[in-house]
Amino acid sequence: MLKIRNLRKEYMRNDRKFTALEDVNLDISSGDFVNIIGRSGSGKSTLLNITAGMLTPTLGSVELNNNDLTVKSDSELSRIRNDEIGFIPQGASALQSLTVIENVLLPYYLYPHGGDGEGYAYYLLEKFGIKNLADSYPADLSGGELRRALIARALINRPALVIADEPVSDLDVNSAREVMKIFSTLNSDEGVTLLIVSHDLDSLKYGKSVYTMSNGKLLHGNKLIE
């Protein structure tokens, strides 16, 4: 489903070339749960942003369902992010002026979609135990509750791939475990394909495949951490 080939990303930092990603290759099949761990600045977020079509690589290709994202226009990429990718950015990334249910429904309303979006949004909130908070505003939610709402938002258009950037980095231990369990259940019970990056070693307990990222290089397993 997702094929990343020979990915390289270079930045200019203080007038010097800086390589954020170097020859990254990754294959993710439908139903996978891939966990990438690594220290801050190792290139994890850069990899996710390129995978979601939000950043252009210097070299290499990213194919999602046989579509090369690196050659798509902004509007095509936007549509792919809306329909095929459920992206969960770092931190409390909700629109503060909208209620929880409206935040969840936001991707559904960005483009015309069929089906009962509202019903599905309530179903997801119920599934994650926060249906009673549907009409609350993000500022009234705890970190764990908000993260569950954001997972619901990522799932609203039934995407092929859910990408989460440091989904538990700012949560306490219990909330972090609850959130990771939700991801695990989504993958095992509903077959949702997940790609998660984290610098939290506790995340190693979750996921079918674990990769380690260090200095822009991706290695299978957690060898570098070990």
Partner 1 sequence: MRLSTWEIAKRNFRRSPFRSFCLVLIIMLFSLLLFTGSVLSFSLANGAQSMANRLGADIMVVPAGFDPHVDNILLAGKPSTFYLPASAMDELMRIKDDAGIDLISPQSFLATLRASCCSYPVQLVGIEYSSDFIVKPWLQSTIRHDLRDGEIIVGYRVSGQPGETLKFFNKDLLVAGRLEQTGMGFDAMIFMNRATLAVLSKEAERIRERPLTNDGSLTSVIMLKLKPGFSPAASAREINRLLNDKGIYALFSRKFVNSIGESLKVVSSSIFYGLIVFWVMAVAIAALIFAMTIFERKREFGVLRTIGATRGKLIRLCLAEIFMVSSYGSLLGVVLGAVIIAVISPYMIEALKLPFLLPGIAGLAGLAVMSVVLSITTGLISGAWSAFKAGHYDIHEMTRGA
Residue 89 or 207: which CB sits closer to partner 1?
A: 89
Under rule CB under 8 A, residue 200 binds partner 1: no
53, two tokens:
């079509």
- Which part of the chain contacts partner 1 (CB under 8 A), choosing from 24-32, 63-71, 75-83, 214-222? 75-83
Nearer of residues 87 and 128 to partner 1, judged by Cβ: 87
Taking Cα atoms as reference points, which of 150, 149, 116 lies closest to residue 134? 149
Sign of CA dihedral 207, 213, 217, 223: negative
The nearer residue to partner 1, 7 or 210, going by C-beta atoms, is 7
* CB closer to partner 1, 55 vs 59: 55
Q: Euclidean distance between the first and final Cα of the chain, in Å?
A: 30
Number of alpha carbons in the 13 Å side-chain half-sphere of residue 132:
1
Give the contacts of 79 (CB within 8 A, at least 6 positions apart): 111
Footprint on residues 105-134 left by partner 1 (CB under 8 A): 105-107, 109-111, 118
Please list every residue from 35 through 64 that binds partner 1, using CB under 8 A: 45-46, 49, 52, 54-55
Element housing 164 (H / E): strand 161-165
Q: In the window 149-168, what residues touch partner 1 (CB under 8 A)?
A: 153, 165
Report d(CA 18, CA 99) in Å as an integer.
41
Binding-site size for partner 1 (CB under 8 A) equals 36
Residues in contact with partner 1 by CB under 8 A are: 45-46, 49, 52, 54-55, 74-75, 78-79, 81-83, 87, 89-98, 101-102, 105-107, 109-111, 118, 153, 165, 170
